[in-house]
Amino acid sequence: MQGNICRHIFWDWHGVLGTKKFWPRTSKVDEAVGAFVHYAFLEPDRIKDWMRNVHTTETLLHASGAHISQTGLYDAFRKDWPTAEAVINAPLLQKVRTQFPYTPFSIITDNMDVFDDFVASSPFLQREFKHIFTSAQIGRLKEDRPGLFEHVLASLGLDSFEHTLFLDDSMANCQRFMALGGQALHVTNQDVSSESLSNL
The domain ranges of the chain are: 2-20+84-198, 26-80
Q: Are 35 and 129 in contact (CB under 8 A)?
A: no
- The model's pLDDT over 3-39, given as tens digits with 9 standing for 90+, comes to 468 999 999 999 999 989 999 999 999 999 999 999 9
pLDDT score at 1: 56
Positive or negative, the CA dihedral 178, 182, 186, 190 is negative
Spatial contact of 92 and 192, defined as CB atoms under 8 Å apart: yes
pTM above 0.75, yes or no: yes
Query: For all residues of the chain together, what is the average pLDDT?
Result: 95
Q: CATH code for 2-20+84-198? A: 3.40.50.1000
Output Rg (C-alpha) for the chain, integer angstroms.
17
pLDDT, mean of residues 131-138: 98
